[in-house]
Amino acid sequence: MTADLEEKTDRYERMFADALDEAEIAVPVETPLGDAAAECREMAESYLTDGRHFREEDDLVNALASFSYGYGWLDAGVRMGLFAVPDDSHLFTM
């Protein structure tokens, strides 16, 4: 079971980091929507940092949870139109 959790945690971290690289703010930054996009991105980045910290501490459960929550913030921003992603991206639900 630990090997499965480790593989899943590693996979989610890679996918999440790739998703952050792909997502570009798609709304005017000097607007309330720009503020919302910046806050979503900041939350996502914070969860990535937290997940990596937990991973370093061998706390795989909290690392995976952090990667999953952060991915959720980013994916929600994409679905709301705050972020643009490539049309052929397999990293987001659209």
Asked if pLDDT for residue 15 goes beyond 70, the answer is: yes
Is residue 25 classed as helix, strand or coil in its secondary structure? strand
The per-residue pLDDT for 63 is 98
When mean pLDDT is compared across 26-30, 31-35, 53-57, 85-89, the lowest value belongs to: 85-89
Residue 4 CB partners (closer than 8 Å, separation 6+)? none
Please give the model's pTM, rounded to 2 decimal places: 0.88
Asked if pLDDT for residue 2 goes beyond 80, the answer is: no
Cα(63)–Cα(10) distance, rounded to whole angstroms?
9
DSSP string, 6-39: HHHHHHHHHHHHHHHHH-EE-S-TTSHHHHHHHH
pLDDT tens digit string along 38-76? 999 999 999 999 999 999 999 999 999 999 999 999 999
Please indicate whether residue 87 or residue 10 has the higher confidence score (pLDDT). Answer: 10
Q: In the chain, what are the domains? A: 2-84 (1.20.1270.90)
Is residue 22 classed as helix, strand or coil in its secondary structure? helix
The per-residue pLDDT for 93 is 66
